C-alpha cells in the first residue's frame, strides 16, 4: 500500500490517511448541502459518519463515491486526486460503496450476482469469446465472497426471492467482490430487525478484524459506537467534530447540535 506522496501536496492531514475529504462544497440552488466538509479516513480504521436527518450525509457519500460532482474542494484517495474520476475508475482504484437501498440483479441467482460483481471489477476489457461459465477464478472469488457474508448455502436462489436481511448481506458481498481498499457503507443496517442487525454487526466486525478500511454511515448508534474507531459528526453540511467515540459522546458541540440536550447515546 502506498502511504507516501501526500507530503508533496499542501495537505492539512497526516500522510497515513487513505481518504481525505478536503473542504468539499456542494450546492443545490440556494441550498448548500455540503459546506466545506473536511475529514479523513485512516488506513485500516473504521470511521463512522453520523449526523441528524438532513445533515447532508447522503450528498457527501454520493460525492465520495462519484455519483455527484462537488462544486468545490477535493477528494484524495491514497494520495491521488480522485475528485473528477468517474465511478467505475474509483471502484477500480479501490473506493467501493454499498447502497442504502439494496441494489441487486434481482432476477439472477445469488451466485450470478457475485460473479457479475467480480467480472465488472476486472480492469481489463471483458472477453467477447471465452465462456464466462468456465471462468473458474471468477466463480471461486464469487463463492468466497458469498461464504464470507454467510450466503454460501443460498447461491442458487434468485436474488429477488431472498429475505430483506439476506439481500443486505448480498449487497455487502457485491461490494466486497469489487475488492475494496476502502468500503463505503451507506446505512448497512437500514430496515433490519434486531437479529439481522446483530448479524450485520458481526459481519462488519469480521471485516474490521481483517483491517479493511470502512467508512460507515449509520443511524443505529449502538452499532456505530461498537464498530467505529473514530467518528465524524456532520451537521448542516459541515463536519463539526471528529474523534474517538468517547470524545464524540462528551463533545459539547455535538451534544448541542446533534444529540440534543438530554440525549442518551446508549451503548
Partner 1 sequence: MSTPASPARPRRQTLLHHRGLGPWTWAVLALLAALPPLLQVMGLEFYTVVATRVLIFAIAASSLNLILGFGGLVSFGHAAFVGLGAYTVGVLMEAGVASAWIAWPAAMLVSGLAAAVIGAISLRTRGVYFIMITLAFAQMFHYLAVSLKAYGGDDGLPLAARSSLTALPVNLADDASFYWVALGLFALVFAGLQRLVNSPLGWLLQAARENETRVTATGGRVFAVQWSAFIIAGALAGLAGALLANLNGMVSPHLMHWSQSGQLMVMVILGGAGAVWGGPLGALVFLLLEELLSGVTIHWQFALGAILLAVVLFAPRGLAGLFRPRGDAHA
Number of helices followed by number of strands (H, E) in the chain: 9, 10
Burial (CB count <10 Å: 0-12, 13-18, 19+), residue 253: exposed
Smallest gap from residue 94 Cβ to partner 1 (A): 10
Nearest CA among 11, 39, 43 for reference residue 235: 39
- By CB under 8 A, tell whether 33 contacts partner 1: no
Please report whether residue 217 would count as binding partner 1 according to CB under 8 A.
Answer: no
Least distance to partner 1 from the beta carbon of 133, Å? 5
Cβ-contact 149, 142 below 8 angstroms: no
Does residue 215 interact with partner 1 by CB under 8 A?
Answer: no
Of 15, 84, 87, 253, the one binding partner 1 by CB under 8 A = 87
Among 88, 194, 260, 266, binds partner 1 (CB under 8 A): 88
Q: Which residues contact 206 (CB under 8 A, 6 or more apart)?
A: 148
Residue whose CB is less far from partner 1, 29 or 123: 123
Nearer to partner 1, 87 or 267 (CB): 87
CB 111 to partner 1: min, Å? 5
| Contact with partner 1 (CB under 8 A) among 39, 76, 77, 99 | 99
**Cα 235 to Cα 241: distance, rounded to the nearest angstrom:** 9
Q: Does residue 240 sit in helix, strand or coil?
A: strand
Number of residues that bind partner 1 (CB under 8 A): 46
In the chain, the N- to C-terminal Cα span, in Å, equals 34
Looking at the Cβ atoms of 41 and 111, the one nearer to partner 1 is 111
Q: Which of 91, 185, 207, 234 binds partner 1 (CB under 8 A)?
A: 91
> DSSP string covering 183-213, please?
EEEE-TTTT--HHHHHHHHHHHHHHHHTT-E
Is residue 2 a contact point for partner 1 (CB under 8 A)?
Answer: no
CA-CA-CA-CA torsion for 115, 64, 41, 206, nearest 10 degrees?
A: -30
Binding mask 105-144 for partner 1 (x = CB under 8 A): xxxxxxxx--xxx-xxxxx-xxxxxxxxxxx--xx-----
Distance CA 225, CA 243 (A): 12
Kindly state the smallest distance separating residue 126's Cβ from partner 1, in Å: 4
Q: Read off the DSSP letter of residue 157.
A: S
Q: What does the binding site for partner 1 look like in residue numbers (CB under 8 A)?
A: 65, 87-88, 91-92, 96-97, 99, 103-112, 115-117, 119-123, 125-135, 138-139, 155-156, 158, 174-175, 177-178
Amino acid at each position: 500500500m502506498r502511504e507516501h506522496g501526500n507530503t508533496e501536496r499542501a495537505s492539512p492531514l497526516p500522510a497515513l490517511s487513505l481518504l481525505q475529504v478536503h473542504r468539499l462544497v456542494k450546492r443545490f440552488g440556494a441550498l448548500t448541502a455540503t459546506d466545506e466538509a473536511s475529514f479523513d479516513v485512516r488506513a485500516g480504521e473504521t470511521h463512522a459518519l453520523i449526523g441528524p436527518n438532513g445533515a447532508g450525509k447522503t450528498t457527501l457519500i454520493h460525492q465520495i463515491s462519484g455519483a455527484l460532482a462537488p462544486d468545490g474542494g477535493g477528494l484524495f484517495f491514497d494520495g491521488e486526486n480522485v475528485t473528477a474520476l468517474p465511478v467505475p475508475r474509483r471502484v477500480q482504484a479501490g473506493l467501493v460503496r454499498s447502497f442504502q437501498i439494496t441494489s441487486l440483479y434481482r432476477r439472477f441467482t445469488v451466485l450470478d450476482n457475485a460473479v457479475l460483481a467480480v467480472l465488472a471489477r476486472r480492469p481489463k476489457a471483458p472477453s467477447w469469446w471465452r465462456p464466462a461459465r468456465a471462468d473458474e477464478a471468477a466463480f471461486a472469488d464469487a463463492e468466497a465472497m458469498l461464504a464470507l457474508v454467510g450466503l454460501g448455502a443460498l447461491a442458487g436462489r434468485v436474488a429477488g426471492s431472498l429475505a430483506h436481511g439476506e439481500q443486505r448481506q448480498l449487497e455487502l458481498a457485491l461490494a466486497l467482490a469489487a475488492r475494496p481498499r476502502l468500503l463505503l457503507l451507506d446505512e448497512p443496517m437500514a430496515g433490519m430487525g434486531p437479529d439481522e442487525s446483530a448479524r450485520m454487526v458481526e459481519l462488519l466486525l469480521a471485516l474490521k478484524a481483517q483491517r479493511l478500511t470502512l467508512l460507515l454511515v449509520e443511524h443505529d448508534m449502538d452499532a456505530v459506537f461498537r464498530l467505529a474507531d473514530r467518528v465524524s459528526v456532520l451537521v448542516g453540511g459541515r463536519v463539526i467534530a471528529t474523534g474517538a467515540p468517547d470524545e464524540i459522546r462528551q463533545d459539547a458541540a455535538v451534544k448541542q447540535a446533534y444529540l440534543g440536550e438530554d440525549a442518551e447515546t446508549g451503548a
